Amino acid sequence: MSTTKGLEGIVAAESKISSIINDQLTYVGYTIDDLAEHASFEEVVFLLWFKRLPNKNELAKFDEELFENMTISNAIVEHFKSYDIHNVHPMAALRTAISLLGLYDSEADDMSDEANNRKAIRLQAKVAAIVSAFSRIRDGKEVVQPKKGLSYAANFLYMLNGKEPIDLEVEAINKALVLHADHELNASTFTARVCVATLSDIYSGITSAISALKGPLHGGANEAVMNMLLEIGEVDNAIPYIKDKMANKEKIMGMGHRVYKTGDPRAKHLKKMSKELTARHGMEKWYEMSIKIEDYIKEEKGLPANVDFYSASVYHSLGIKHDLYTPIFAMSRFSGWIAHILEQYENNRLIRPRAEYVGPQNQVYVDINKR
């Protein structure tokens, strides 16, 4: 029996959702460059779930359904208020809140296609409300309800900050959501598929995916990048800091990617947004620092930046608290997780790999008095 550590290079499923071929990421055959430049996040969600782009009427109906479900019950709000919210990581709060949603959903165990599609809408809409509500409650502020006529990206920023965002800020969040929406069989997506392959419900699948994304080797990388930039402090400190890290063989977060050889195709879009947003808000040093680090590591190690590297300075320039970076990643990736869960249900087979045993053999039980 041959084994591959971390399942690297192993093809574990067939999918029509996204692909990574020759360092090009596509969603249902559309390149990420095409979608990042032209599509709204709502169009991308529809594309991932239904395997085609919506027409004008379909998109209007889809937008309306998302808006109508973009609120959370008082039970979730009171839940957030019931514990020491300042000592709870937002990803832990999100994980628990999604599980709670399943308790209050009368259709939670209805496995029909129609019910699952309705739950998909509710989940994608409510995650934006949950993340923003958690942040505001933690800051001692009132929860803000979504505003009709705003896009998904704009409404998230509106519910988070209590004021309508400018166009550049909406563009940045929309691009970030599009770029993070799906990424083939990454760790959290695979976790979701393994979970629902047992025919568990969609809330269980999403909760398990959130748990996987919470880890710093997956969703937490952009938060770690911003912490690094803050630790560096000034542009002139960047290279000495990185040299010291490399001398100590410490990992530089946000650089390189397991499945891309020539570079993450998503990074350039957030790099551009980082340049524009940091300039708009007088925070150019974070972009300049990032450029210096990327250029140096690319030259020394041949590792270009990945999508997490520039998303850090994008979110920071928007005034978003650093521990919300991963929940925003999750908010986007809900669309991909749901797409994969629905696809798994369509042609399900229990996912049950084997393990190669490498422990001791031929042991004989010894009475406890003789050990």
Query: What does the pLDDT look like over 286-301, one tens digit per residue?
Result: 999 999 999 999 888 8
CB 168 within 8 A of CB 280: yes
What distances in angstroms separate CA 100 from CA 73, 94, 324, one per listed residue? 10, 10, 20
- Residue position matching structure tokens 């705003």: 150
pLDDT computed for residue 27 by the predictor: 98
| Separation CA 60–CA 58 (nearest Å) | 5
Instruction: For the chain, give the percent of residues with pLDDT over 90.
Output: 82
The model's confidence at residue 151, banded by pLDDT at 50, 70 and 90, is very high
Q: Give me the catalytic one of 63, 308, 316, 340.
A: 308
Rg (CA), the chain: 22
pLDDT computed for residue 302 by the predictor: 85
| Residue (of 199, 288, 216, 212) closest to 254 by Cα position | 216
Tokens of 313: 């300075």
pLDDT computed for residue 9 by the predictor: 74
DSSP SS3 for 331: helix
User: Is 53 exposed, middle or buried, given 0-12, 13-18 or 19+ CB atoms closer than 10 A?
Assistant: middle
Q: Give me the catalytic one of 105, 180, 182, 257.
A: 257
CB 196 within 8 A of CB 190: no
| Separation CA 337–CA 209 (nearest Å) | 7
Asked if the model's pLDDT at residue 325 lies above 70, the reply is: yes
Name the packing angle between helices 41-50 and 152-161 (round to 10°). 120
pLDDT tens figures, 167-180: 999 999 999 999 99
* Average pLDDT score over the chain: 93
pLDDT computed for residue 227 by the predictor: 92
pLDDT computed for residue 7 by the predictor: 79
Q: Which CATH number fits domain 14-214+323-346: 1.10.580.10, 3.40.50.2000, 3.40.1130.10, 3.40.50.720?
A: 1.10.580.10
pLDDT tens figures, 88-129: 999 999 999 999 999 999 999 999 999 999 999 999 999 999
What distances in angstroms separate CA 111 from CA 126, 209, 334, one per listed residue? 20, 19, 18
Asked if the model's pLDDT at residue 334 lies above 90, the reply is: yes
| Separation CA 57–CA 212 (nearest Å) | 36
pLDDT tens figures, 258-270: 677 777 899 999 9
- Residue position matching structure tokens 């690319």: 298
Determine what percent of the chain falls in helix, strand and coil, rounding each to the nearest 5: 60, 5, 35
| Separation CA 207–CA 190 (nearest Å) | 13
pLDDT computed for residue 305 by the predictor: 87
pLDDT computed for residue 254 by the predictor: 82
| Separation CA 255–CA 308 (nearest Å) | 8
* Per CATH, domain 221-317 is 3.20.20.140: no
pLDDT computed for residue 46 by the predictor: 98
Asked if the model's pLDDT at residue 2 lies above 70, the reply is: no
What pTM was estimated for this model as a whole?
A: 0.93
State the sign of the Cα–Cα–Cα–Cα dihedral 311, 317, 323, 324.
negative
What's the distance, CA 23 to chain centroid? 20
Beta-strand runs (E) in 70-190: none
Domain locations in the chain as residue ranges: 14-214+323-346, 221-317
Q: What is the DSSP string of 184-210?
A: SS-HHHHHHHHHHTTT--HHHHHHHHH
Higher pLDDT, 337 or 303: 337
Residues β-bridged to residue 257: 260
- Residue 308 is a catalytic residue: yes
- Residue 367 is a catalytic residue: no
State the sign of the Cα–Cα–Cα–Cα dihedral 161, 164, 169, 172.
positive
